[in-house]
């Protein structure tokens, strides 16, 4: 067995001294038995997969039904992002802000250093070099994750451009994110996800769940990325990117922010309804957008990821046929049910409910036993190349020009189906005050309305007030500003029934947005923004009455007065860092509603 010193230096596929020295320091601390440098090859994928199966980490599925697909079951105490155990570690507590947990960097390094000390004895350390963003893109960032989880290594292979291409792109540069992860003993009392923005470093201990341990995703792409974006003049956002092409062949690119489990992936992979012949929606990205001002004054976006880490329950051939096609092969499923014939099952899947199966915890399950077969936050990890609707621009190093930005939360009332902001500052206000009812994607109560500015509350790597000011400041460097919209697919009537069909029919709202961007349709001004006039949203083929449509698009002043009241707590949190321009927008809205 190769020693740590031999494995990391003698056999390393790089001469980058900064990288080698860092790997050695981490290896001396964690003391793995072996070090494996991941190269991203097909041979490596086969070898690691076979090893994961042998160790019981992956369960092979029926390879005739789902070729290349496997099931993983995580510890039942480790099934979602742990926001209360996620820390931003800056020298000054103020820089982290009131919406983040803060820990002093020295304290964090010491506390986690004690946990990491010898934690990989008897284990293998996988060195995972990766690129976030298209290879060769000037917008891309390079990271290296050291992990003792073969599940993480295999997931990072799907989610990033991993292995030799990343080392080649890094060369001798010292500019890479340093990520260290160990599952430890998966004890919630010894679980920390710590971000060190000033050091471009992430330490994650005690978890095996993707959102906590796939360090390129939420950790680098958003928490560290948002900090780097402010420093370097760009934006790291929790947004899907799609291209929508009309029958005339004109493509409009849209970025949209929705909190986790609120329909981002469905929207990004949407298939237009039958009435929309000649229309096409293509996916650039389903979760994260890095956006920069381009040389032509427009805002350009790349998707830093190479795969999809999506919520499974509710996914079916009605809600998201493209996702169903995407996960038909070469996919890792986490915490779903396993059928007797070796297929996977989850609540909301097409077809009849199985009479029996093995649930996400490995226990026998039958319908009506009071338990979920799949965990509400069960996931699929699939390569974006599987998506039938993938955009030809998904790997464009320069990205795509964004013409519209959409904010949408899960609200059962108050927020109408769609409205357009009066201007950029008003749009930032809409995004800043976005509220959403919580879902199973994060630990805690489900169904509670919380403020989630730009869907970034759990992911902003610095003070939220400074983040909102950065949005306002970006206006100075973007000549052709995207139009900003707010949507709500989840409004309910008095009986608790959704008033809008959603899913593919969201194309009808997207068409109105595209027409507004292109100046094709007039609009109606309200106290809150511009909304569609009666009949401007195409309802042909929908079983929806004019009264129901009016309910979906209505603006009720009493609800908005209550909404403004509830926003006070959020703005009070920001204190003196609440941007003046947004406070003025709030005063104007209060004045309009008051009159």
Task: Report the catalytic residues.
Answer: 262
**Alpha-carbon span 286 to 27, nearest angstrom:** 35
Classify the phi-psi angles of 277: left when phi > 0, otherwise alpha if psi is within -120 to 50, otherwise beta.
beta
- Identify the H or E element spanning 116: helix 105-116
Dihedral Cα 37, 40, 42, 44, nearest 10 deg: 20
Structure tokens at 589: 């809205």
Q: Are 381 and 159 in contact (CB under 8 A)?
A: yes
**Alpha-carbon span 576 to 111, nearest angstrom:** 32
Q: Are 380 and 70 in contact (CB under 8 A)?
A: no
**Alpha-carbon span 203 to 191, nearest angstrom:** 11
Dihedral Cα 370, 373, 377, 383, nearest 10 deg: -170
**Alpha-carbon span 92 to 84, nearest angstrom:** 19
Helix 424-432 vs helix 464-474: crossing angle, to nearest 10: 160
- Identify the H or E element spanning 115: helix 105-116
**Alpha-carbon span 327 to 312, nearest angstrom:** 10
Radius of gyration of the chain (CA): 24
SS (H, E, C) 196-231: EHHHCEEEEECCCCHHHHCCHHHHHHHHHHHHHHHH
**Alpha-carbon span 416 to 88, nearest angstrom:** 35
The values of phi and psi at residue 170, to 5°, are: -70, -40
Helix, coil or strand: residue 569: helix
Helix, coil or strand: residue 509: helix
Residue located via tokens 């080698």: 20
């Amino acid at each position: 067995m190769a020693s740590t010193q031999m494995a990391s230096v003698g056999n390393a596929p790089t001469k980058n001294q900064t990288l080698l020295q860092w790997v050695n320091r981490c290896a001396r601390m964690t003391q793995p038995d072996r070090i494996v440098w991941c190269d991203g090859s097909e041979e490596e994928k086969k070898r690691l997969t076979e090893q994961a199966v042998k160790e019981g980490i992956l369960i092979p599925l029926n390879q005739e039904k789902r070729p290349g697909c496997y099931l993983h079951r995580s510890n039942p105490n480790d099934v979602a992002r742990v926001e209360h155990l996620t820390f931003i570690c800056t020298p000054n507590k103020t820089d982290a802000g009131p919406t983040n947990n803060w820990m002093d960097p020295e304290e964090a390094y010491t506390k986690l250093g004690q946990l990491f000390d010898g934690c990989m004895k008897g284990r293998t350390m996988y060195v995972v070099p990766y690129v976030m963003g298209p290879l060769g893109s000037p917008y891309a960032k390079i990271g290296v994750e050291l992990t003792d989880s073969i599940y993480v290594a295999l997931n990072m292979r799907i989610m990033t451009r991993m292995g030799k291409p990343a080392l080649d792109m890094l060369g001798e540069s010292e500019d890479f994110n340093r990520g260290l992860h160990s599952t430890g003993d998966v004890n919630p009392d010894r679980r920390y996800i710590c971000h060190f923005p000033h050091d471009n470093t992430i330490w994650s201990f005690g978890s095996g769940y993707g959102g906590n341990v796939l360090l390129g995703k939420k950790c680098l792409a958003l928490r560290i990325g948002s900090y780097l974006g402010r420093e370097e003049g760009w934006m790291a956002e929790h947004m899907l990117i799609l291209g929508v092409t009309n029958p005339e062949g004109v493509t409009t690119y849209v970025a949209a922010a929705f909190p986790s489990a609120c329909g981002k992936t469905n929207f990004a992979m949407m298939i237009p309804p039958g009435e929309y012949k000649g229309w096409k929606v293509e996916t650039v990205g389903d979760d994260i957008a890095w956006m920069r001002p381009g040389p032509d004054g427009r805002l350009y976006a790349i998707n830093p990821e190479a795969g999809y880490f999506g919520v499974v329950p509710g996914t079916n051939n009605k809600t998201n046929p493209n996702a169903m096609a995407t996960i038909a092969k070469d996919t890792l499923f986490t915490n779903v049910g396993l059928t007797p014939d070796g297929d996977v099952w989850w609540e909301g899947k097409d077809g009849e409910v199985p009479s029996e199966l093995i649930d996400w915890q490995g226990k026998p399950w039958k319908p009506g036993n009071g338990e979920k077969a799949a965990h509400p936050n069960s996931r699929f990890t699939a390569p974006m190349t599987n998506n039938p609707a993938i955009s030809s621009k998904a790997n464009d190093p320069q990205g795509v020009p964004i013409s519209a930005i959409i904010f949408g939360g899960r609200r059962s009332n108050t927020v109408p189906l769609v409205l357009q902001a009066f201007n950029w500052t008003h749009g930032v206000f809409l995004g800043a005050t976005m509220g959403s009812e919580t879902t199973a994607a994060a630990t805690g109560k489900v169904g509670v309305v919380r403020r989630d500015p730009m869907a970034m509350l759990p992911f902003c790597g610095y003070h939220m007030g400074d983040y909102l000011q950065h949005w306002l400041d970006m206006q100075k460097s973007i000549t052709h500003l995207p139009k900003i919209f707010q949507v709500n697919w989840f409004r309910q009537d008095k009986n608790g029934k959704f008033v809008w069909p959603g899913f593919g029919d969201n194309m009808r709202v997207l068409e109105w947005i595209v027409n507004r961007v292109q100046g094709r349709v007039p609009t109606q001004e309200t106290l809150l923004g511009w909304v569609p006039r009666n009949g401007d949203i195409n309802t042909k083929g929908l079983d929806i009455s004019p009264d129901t449509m009016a309910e979906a698009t209505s603006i009720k002043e009493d609800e908005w007065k209550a909404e403004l009241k509830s926003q006070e707590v959020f703005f009070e949190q920001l204190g003196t860092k609440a941007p003046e321009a947004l406070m003025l927008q709030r005063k104007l809205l209060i004045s309009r509603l008051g009159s």
